[in-house]
Amino acid sequence: MCAPTHSPLATRHSPLTPQIELYFDIEAQPELNLDYMLGVLVVDRTSKTETFHSLLAEKVEDEALIWQQFLELVWQYPQAPIFHFFSYEVDTVKRLAQIYQTPKEQIQPLLERFVDVYEQITQTVILPVESYALKAIARWLGFEWRDPGANGSQCIYWYDQWLATGDRTFLDSIQNYNEDDCRATRHVKDWLENFIQDEGLVGTGVD
């Protein structure tokens, strides 16, 4: 972990620690109105295991398939919170539920499990970073992506190239980037959890 240039200032706190945690990140192709990858990292603190699930639409019409796979996966862990960074994942789950007519009684309890790490960290600490984007915070905390130059726009290019060429190395690059995003989200969340404990903030703020 990188040493902070000054101590973050605690402002608020929400509890963050369960035994099984899910970390969720999405890759999308806006021009196709397509969410083509739903990545989920399952962290079981009891068994000390981590499993990354890459739910990938190899064809444009597979979005419905990976949506159903996502629902089946997350409901295997009905008590597990679903950590994500910023609002896109929640907005997308609502959109996909509407498109594929997922029953409200299946979606509403799911949405209640979502925890936005971006919201948690901006309400809890002030950090010496230029922005509160995931890459800026995670890198300040010492996390590095396997491909330092990869980003969401690059993934769109890779997916387009996959559709055009069928070269699976493009899919591999997307999956690695998405997994790293999930792990970066976990890295930030775990740091925040430790900071809260170290600063004695548990139970002192807004739950």
Phi, psi angles (nearest 5°) of residue 128 = -85, 60
Per-residue pLDDT tens digits for 96-126: 999 999 999 999 999 999 999 999 999 999 9
Of 8 and 116, the structure prediction assigns the larger pLDDT to: 116
Name 21's bridge partners: 43
Strands 82-84 and 114-116: parallel
Alpha helices in the chain (DSSP H): 63-74, 88-99, 104-111, 117-122, 134-140, 152-165, 168-199
| Average pLDDT estimate for 20-25 | 98
Per-residue DSSP letter, 61? G
Torsion of CA 51, 108, 85, 44, to 10 degrees: -30
Taking the model in full, what pTM does it have? 0.90
Instruction: Quote the tokens at residue 198.
Output: 């170290």
Q: What contacts 24+ positions apart, CB below 8 Å, involve 44-47? A: 44/19, 44/20, 45/18, 45/19, 45/20, 45/21, 46/19, 46/20
pLDDT of residue 13: 41
| pLDDT band, very low/low/confident/very high, at 201 (cuts 50, 70, 90) | low
Per-residue pLDDT tens digits for 143-191: 999 999 999 999 999 999 999 999 999 999 999 999 999 999 999 999 9
Q: Is the pLDDT of residue 25 over 70?
A: yes
Q: Is the pLDDT of residue 2 over 90?
A: no
Per-residue pLDDT tens digits for 40-93: 999 999 999 999 999 999 999 999 999 999 999 999 999 999 999 999 999 999
Residues present in the chain in total: 207
